[in-house]
Structure 1
Amino acid sequence: MEIQHIILDDAKAEHRELAIWRSGEINEVRLSDTEYKVYHRLELSAHNHTALFHYGIVEALNQLPFISESGHGLDSWDEAFLPAALLPKMEEILQKCMEEIEPGSISKVMLGWHEEPVAVAYWRLVSSDEVRRFMQELMRFAREAAAAGHDLEWIL
């Protein structure tokens, strides 16, 4: 059986419509607010969504006690909250993860596959430089949220 290999291209609408295509957001919120309010938002591109899992960043962040409905902490297809008091620790974890990512590399990451009606494997090219830039932005975002006493809501 021959398997067709598709490298996802976020510029193609037909790729963005695939169930395997995932993006997210990280919102600055206050768990103590009586009504849900997003103070600031950091978009999580499909590239960086893949990178967070590929480089083990989500796994490393799960050392922290995220609050989630599923009880699984930070996980795909879920939302999870991290209180402001834990954001400095989150930044330490992100910094350590970033130091382990070799600059200037491209990884080919398999996102999934199916065999019917035609065998197809879906891939994404992940740039270490792009994810490192995103992690720096995320650390800045977390510092600002912590300074304001705000919590983070992760929607993956």
Structure 2
Amino acid sequence: MLKNKPNYWSFRSEKLIPPLQEWRTKLSKGGAMRMFRLILVLFVVFTFHLLPVGSATGNTGSGQDAVLKTSTPAVELFVTSWCPYCKRAESFFRREGVKFNKFDVEKDPKARARFQKLNPSGGVPVALINGRKIKGYSEDAYLRALGGD
């Protein structure tokens, strides 16, 4: 009784499940190389897809050069009109030739909302340099964030 029962799990059996039989036939007719190529292509595609992407500006040396060469400023400065340190920060960026966007958090509601998300504790100036947040006025911190000294 057991001798008549087909063995569906053996590749040597003539009575394989039909999809397995087709797969075995294709592999025996040179399909193994095609299968290998397909797996290789998929491996390469997924490997390159997962690689980290470099910065859009590249490493050009000093951070100031990188900021100056970008089409949109990489420096955002959140200020108020009455703050003396905000004025110093503005003059620092101008003196260094760094392009920046200035946002007055008292006059611009959108800037205020963004400022509150960046700095819930409050306090100006806040500089966002290449994605790095710097609270307060510090030329050294600005230069480090720009990639300079």
TM-score scaled by length of structure 1:
0.22
TM-score scaled by length of structure 2:
0.23
More strand per residue: 1
Based on CA coordinates, which of the two structures has the bigger radius of gyration? 2
More helix per residue: 2
User: Greater relative contact order: 1 or 2 (C-alpha under 8 angstroms, separation 6 or more)?
Assistant: 1
